[in-house]
Amino acid sequence: MNQGNPEFQQRSVVSSFISDAGETKVALFRRSEKVNTYQHHLAPISGSIESHEIPAAAAWRELKEETTLTPRDVDLWRTGKPYTFCDPSVGRQWTVFPFLFRLKDGDEGGRGESGIQIDWEHESWEWYSPDTIQDDEKFGGVPRLKQSLRRVCFESDMNEGASKALISGLRLLKADHQSGSHELTSIALRAFRDVIAQMSEDIDGKWWETARMAAWHLWKNGRESMGAATLNAFLGLLADMEEIVHEALDRNVKWECLLALLDHHLDKRKDMPMRIKRSFGAYLECNFLPTAQSQPTPSLVILSLSASSTIRDSILEAFASLPIPNLDLRILESRPLCEGVNMASSILSAFQSRFPSSSDRHLELTVHTDASAALASKEVDFVLLGADRISDSGSVSNKTGSLPAVLSAKHVCPAAKVLVLSELEKVAEPGTESSHSHEENDPKELVGCWLQSGIKGVKMFAEGTSADRDNTNYAVEVKNIYFEWVPAELIDAYICEEGTLDASAIQEKAQQVKQKVDRYFAFTYPLCFSTSRFQMSEVLYTGIHTFSVPSKELVFEYIVHRPFTENGYPHSIIVVQCPGWGLGSEYLENGLQDLWRPGIHTSTTSTNGYTVIFFHPRGTDGSSRPPASQMSSMPDLASDLEDLRQHLHLEQYPVLLGHSNGGAIALGYAEMYPSRVGKLVLLDHQLVGFQDKRLLLLEATRIDPLYQDAWDSVLDRQTGSDDEFTTSVRGMWPLYFFDPQQYVPELLRAIGDRKLSVWCYQAQGRCDKELLHPMQMVDRLGDIQAETLIIFGCEDMICGIGIAERTAKDIQKSQLITYGKCGHFPWIEKRDETISDIRKFIEKKE
């Protein structure tokens, strides 16, 4: 995350390296005395990103301006992960976007080295071996030169076997222009498995970061235009890997478990197309069959294009399941590689095998030119599209020709439905469609077809594309763009493994993807170097952190969110203790975003942004389980907060916050270490040992139809597995709200698809029941020295308002705020009030 610094001018720049055709050397350019910064230093091609540009566009522009190189001469080979640092010597805070371009030789239509013609910004240039480039004064490079290079040549930081596996996987992905995104994702996962199989080092924090960075490169630098599916597959895989990485297991056992997990994910992908086929069949049965059967000669008329194994199999599977004798299938050829022809051939072969000539099933299969999409659309029932990427708005990126086909069908046959058949893993993180650059492929794919066809004059035209523009008054280009966007408003439904969805469901999925991207790919690095006062300990960088406590045989995980701007407010750190029974932090991260991103969900006028740390208790997510389940009591979990404080190098917690069971843990810590908490915030907290006798509200709901299903879930609670436990708890959530119909869906969106940990739930519950001094927390309330804010919903049927009143009564410096018509989650049912009251309390002068 980019942390602004008022002392420095902030600049976003591209840093573009150029490799030779064999990818063995990179070009470095010596900056001239005419540039503003780093005169006479070695550097890649660099320049500022204009406000209207995406980084890749800026990289191409700077490359042309400073070297005359164009897409004719170079390929964009790799994109590196951006990073930010400060250089007090020039008064700048740089955000660097690294790129690697590969120089084409003459055989590929490029100009080779002769195409590199420098302008006034550079004095000279030379080739360098990447392993000779250093970040020191003796080498004479610009600051962070080696770090920028490592961002695009990441394999240099890996052992030889893993490096070769990563390079091989990236090349395989880049060269594959036939496979669909589902197949490409499987290729990427297999490549990742090959990398992991070579990573023989100790499985520690550094190993985990290297593994995640390898996954990032396979996603970003394989075929990113088709990479949404790859991204989601990696996010799901990394979430499962994380549990193993932080388990207290022998290194070899961990390694075998990780490889077995990768194999499991690869095998699991085989089931996804079958679930989509079933969803498509169910959609047709409900939305098409009744109308079709009323026709004298029932038939199913479909228009599609390109090649999609999911569409191919779904068409035949659905046709076989429906009592309709005729299938009229029109497929656009999909130039330049004519994948549509391949799909048509595959469908014909499968139809012949499945339906013998003696059957009552008939196929009329027609391949159309792309230009005849309007003619092919006559009387179609459905236009079926695959998806290489689905944006958060629901727009779909698919093979070029998709949009003309959809527009033609909507014009020629307005009743036709446009359906997208796709795995949900194709849903990308939020961002505008324009932020996803077009994939431009080799024009030779087009020119080669023309030459083979003997088109008159094509040779002269082809020669025109390589003409020297500086010495001619014309420009000739051949564009071979593979993908285009179909707007969401033209799409009627999304058919996926979960059934039929609409655009709002896609938007929810995109938000979930963003959360996971931030979790697993938010690699963090130092912002500043030298002697700037804006130094930040690495334990507080944005992202996921782990630390070990050998005396407890435990590894702990915490997540840091920092504001976009740093205002230096004294109480700038808030530590949030997550509940101990396995719910995790997602619901809190979603609900409390306004604390580090002011105004994102509320109408607050405050501009103060805080560094917010979410601490995962033992057994939750990346925090390992204790050697024995008997070590999960509230005092055990509270003592872990002291380990976190020492790891963060804090004299005391400026603000410690907890909700529900997390509030009980925070409260226990404030009792055990009174001087270590500055301010304490408790949201509908539990109070171990105290039973609110006024919880008659909860009993009264047994006869309320609004809560009947929830009570059924309580009485039939299943704890045999994480899946069973998660399902049971999801059914119980209405009991936690004053208005469950309105707010339970919001909670479910915030929690996402995470599984709750039945191990944590059982271990903590058992330990707290067996406490030697069950009233310890109640008896020690008077020991708390921290200023304390207690926020409670008056209709909280889980904890009960009596807990709030007893806590406020016994803590000397306490303030109790209650909200009417509010249950157990105040920031959901009373969002503005909750965030506002927390901010007022934190910012109140002592």
470 in a structural domain: yes
Same domain (yes/no): 686, 706:
no
254 in a structural domain: no
Q: CATH code at 98?
A: 3.90.79.10
3-state secondary structure 64-127: HHHHCCCCCCEEEEEECCCEEEEECCCCEEEEEEEEEEEECCHHHCCCHHHHCCCCCCEEEEEE
31 in a structural domain: yes
Same domain (yes/no): 562, 711:
no
What b/e string do you get for 101-112 counting C-beta neighbours within 10 Å, with b at 16 or more?
A: bbbbeeebbbbe
User: CA angle, 508 as apex, 507 and 513 as ends, to 5°?
Assistant: 95
| Domain end residue (candidates: 751, 784, 817) | 751
Instruction: Give me the residues paired with residue 500 across strands.
Output: 495
137 in a structural domain: yes
Same domain (yes/no): 737, 777:
no
Strands (E), 497-627: 499-501, 543-549, 554-561, 573-577, 611-616
What is the DSSP-derived secondary structure letter of residue 678?
E
| Domain end residue (candidates: 123, 152, 181) | 152
Q: Which helix (H) or strand (E) holds 666?
A: helix 661-672
Same domain (yes/no): 732, 788:
no
User: 306 with 343: CB under 8 angstroms?
Assistant: yes
Of 647, 640, 643, 638, whose CA–CA distance to 783 is shortest? 638
Q: CATH code at 605?
A: 3.40.50.1820
360 in a structural domain: no
Same domain (yes/no): 649, 744:
no
- What does the pLDDT read at residue 715? 65
Instruction: Give me the residues paired with residue 300 across strands.
Output: 327
Give the mean pLDDT of the chain.
85
pLDDT, tens digit, 9 for 90 and up, residues 277-315: 888 988 998 899 989 888 888 999 999 999 888 899 899
> Which carries the bigger pLDDT value, residue 547 or residue 323?
323
- Distance, in Å, from the CA atom of 577 to the CA atom of 270, rounded to the nearest integer, reads 39
| Domain end residue (candidates: 152, 186, 206) | 152
pLDDT above 70: residue 600: no
How many domains are there within the chain?
Answer: 4
Percent pLDDT > 70 in the chain is 89
- What does the pLDDT read at residue 229? 84
For 118, the domain range is 9-152
Tokens describing residue 19: 């490799």
> Quick count: other Cβ atoms within 10 Å of Cβ 708?
12
Q: Residue 204: phi, psi to the nearest 5?
A: -125, -165
- What does the pLDDT read at residue 792? 96
The amino acid at 140 = G
- Distance, in Å, from the CA atom of 98 to the CA atom of 377, rounded to the nearest integer, reads 45
Residue corresponding to tokens 């660097």 = 96
Specify burial of residue 148 (Cβ count, 10 A radius: 0-12, 13-18, 19+).
buried
Residue 550, classed as helix, strand or coil, is helix
The amino acid at 589 = E
- What does the pLDDT read at residue 748? 87
pLDDT, tens digit, 9 for 90 and up, residues 360-406: 899 999 999 999 999 999 999 999 999 988 998 999 999 999 999 99
Same domain (yes/no): 642, 729:
no
Same domain (yes/no): 713, 682:
no
Mean pLDDT, residues 216-223? 88
- What does the pLDDT read at residue 703? 58
61 in a structural domain: yes
Q: Which helix (H) or strand (E) holds 9?
A: strand 9-19
pLDDT above 60: residue 1: no
User: CA angle, 572 as apex, 567 and 575 as ends, to 5°?
Assistant: 150
- What does the pLDDT read at residue 470? 64
Same domain (yes/no): 553, 625:
yes
392 in a structural domain: no
Local confidence band at 535 (pLDDT 50, 70, 90 cut-offs): very low
Mean pLDDT, residues 209-222? 90
Same domain (yes/no): 570, 465:
no
User: 648 with 642: CB under 8 angstroms?
Assistant: no
139 in a structural domain: yes
Same domain (yes/no): 783, 742:
no
Local confidence band at 576 (pLDDT 50, 70, 90 cut-offs): very high
pLDDT, tens digit, 9 for 90 and up, residues 118-175: 999 999 999 999 989 998 888 999 999 998 999 998 888 889 999 999 999 999 988 8
Same domain (yes/no): 688, 702:
no
Mean pLDDT, residues 232-244? 87
pLDDT, tens digit, 9 for 90 and up, residues 680-694: 999 999 998 887 655
Specify burial of residue 452 (Cβ count, 10 A radius: 0-12, 13-18, 19+).
exposed
- Which pairs from 599-602 meet CB under 8 Å and 24+ separation? 601/831, 601/835, 602/831, 602/832, 602/835, 602/836
List, edge to edge, every strand of the sheet that includes 396-399.
389-390, 396-399, 483-486
Same domain (yes/no): 825, 782:
yes
